[in-house]
Amino acid sequence: MTRTVDVVIAGDGGTARRVAVRALRRGDRVLIVLRSVDPGIARRLRTSLLEAAGADGDQLRVIAGAEVVCADGIDGVEAVVVRHGPSGRLSAVNASAFVSFTPRASDRRAADTNTDRPQNGTNGGDSRENVT
């Protein structure tokens, strides 16, 4: 799949949601990439963002069970590569911007090995917020 969007957002915390709503209100096409494999979470997120932004459904796509593995370009973002789990299939997305609101792998490893004290506040180093 090759698709063109204005912005790719990795994550679903409060800040990611606010960025998505602002982009949708501007008329941007938005792709949100979620690690969660639960399609219900993706569906609820999509519905709530479209309602909050008063946006057209064609402006927003949410992919569940995936992660951004590469963002590249010359003088700015031009393409983002998404890995779909568990198949490992890769897809390229033409994009003008990429924003990540997910912790880096090194942050997750540090949180996993350091259980005696929380990092980044009280959530053990995971900067993502729970979806409700």
Which architecture, in CATH terms, is 2-113? 3-Layer(bba) Sandwich (3.50)
Q: How many CB atoms lie within 10 A of CB 87?
A: 9
Q: What is the pLDDT along the chain (132 residues), one digit of tens a residue?
A: 558 999 999 999 999 999 999 999 999 999 999 999 999 999 999 999 999 999 989 999 999 999 999 999 999 999 999 999 989 999 999 999 999 997 665 554 444 443 443 333 333 333 333 332
Q: HEC states along 70-117?
A: EEECCCCCCEEEEEECCCCEEEEEEEEEEEECCCCHHHHHHHHHCCCC
Is residue 57 classed exposed, middle or buried when 0-12, 13-18 and 19+ CB atoms within 10 A define those classes? exposed
- Which residue bears the tokens 């010359």? 74
